[in-house]
């Protein structure tokens, strides 16, 4: 473990918090704009992280994934997720379309942040080490957040998009798996990480190449 790796882990933890807040606020803001006041009524339109953090997805999971980064041996691209944003589709103006747009708003917010940090990375790459590390950490976590959330694992945004195109019975069964999200995440990250990890790295590094000029996910 080196001082640089320790700093990178700290910066990634800060970046995850920024990425999570942007992700969830994007969901909530668009839901309100499209007619559903549930995020506001449930007090989720706030920068207070306590309103959004999930004990497993926001604390335990990233903690486990960050630990190997200290020693330069990451198991999987570092990822976290928050409590689902409360959305009542019956309040939306165009229920099916708007639900998909709300689901995509979170990853879109992370892509916007990735472009911002990608531009900063190009400027900071030849500068002092610590600012460059901070920008690189934030770039990586936002790219991973955007790509990983599009994987159709129950409770992630990709599952909410896919559910809209399933027959009624299949949709009911699929969305009923949301309470078991932590179990699915454990399987994907620690039992069969290969396919999803490869997808995140290939797509994520493609995004990194676009926004920063090179790969950012090892």
Q: Where are the domains of the chain?
A: 3-212
Of the candidates 75, 99, 80, 109, which has an alpha carbon nearest to the alpha carbon of residue 181?
80
Give this prediction's pTM: 0.93
Rg of the Cα atoms in the chain: 17
| Measured distance CA(26)–CA(112) in Å, rounded | 11
CB 59 within 8 A of CB 49: no
Q: Return the structure tokens found at 176.
A: 């009923």
- Helices and strands (H and E) in the chain: how many: 9, 0
* Band of pLDDT at residue 218, cut at 50, 70 and 90: confident
pLDDT band at 1 (very low <50, low <70, confident <90, very high): low
Please tell me the predicted confidence (pLDDT) of residue 193: 85
- 195-208: average pLDDT: 92
Q: What is the pLDDT of residue 2?
A: 78
Q: What is the mean pLDDT of the chain?
A: 92
Split at pLDDT 50, 70, 90, the class of 105 is: very high
The H or E element spanning position 216 is none
Mean pLDDT in residue range 13-26: 97
How high is the pLDDT of residue 159?
A: 95
């Amino acid at each position: 473990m080196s001082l640089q790796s320790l700093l990178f882990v700290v910066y990634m933890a800060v970046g995850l918090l920024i990425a999570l807040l942007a992700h969830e606020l994007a969901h909530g803001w668009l839901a309100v704009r499209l007619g559903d006041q549930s995020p506001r009524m449930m007090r989720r339109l706030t920068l207070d992280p306590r309103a959004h953090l999930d004990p497993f997805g926001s604390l335990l999971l990233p903690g486990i994934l960050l630990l190997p980064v200290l020693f330069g041996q990451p198991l999987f691209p570092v990822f976290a997720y928050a409590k689902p944003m409360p959305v009542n589709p019956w309040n939306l103006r165009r229920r099916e379309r708007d639900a998909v747009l709300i689901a995509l708003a979170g990853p879109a917010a992370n892509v916007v942040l990735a472009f911002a940090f990608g531009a900063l990375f190009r400027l900071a790459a030849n500068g002092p080490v610590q600012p460059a590390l901070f920008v690189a950490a934030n770039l990586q976590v936002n790219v991973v957040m955007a790509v990983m959330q599009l994987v159709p694992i129950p409770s992630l945004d990709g599952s909410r998009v896919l559910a809209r195109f399933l027959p009624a019975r299949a949709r009911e069964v699929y969305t009923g798996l949301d309470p078991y999200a932590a179990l699915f995440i454990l399987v994907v990250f620690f039992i069969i990480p290969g396919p999803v990890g490869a997808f995140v790295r290939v797509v994520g590094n493609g995004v990194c190449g676009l926004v920063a000029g090179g790969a950012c996910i090892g």
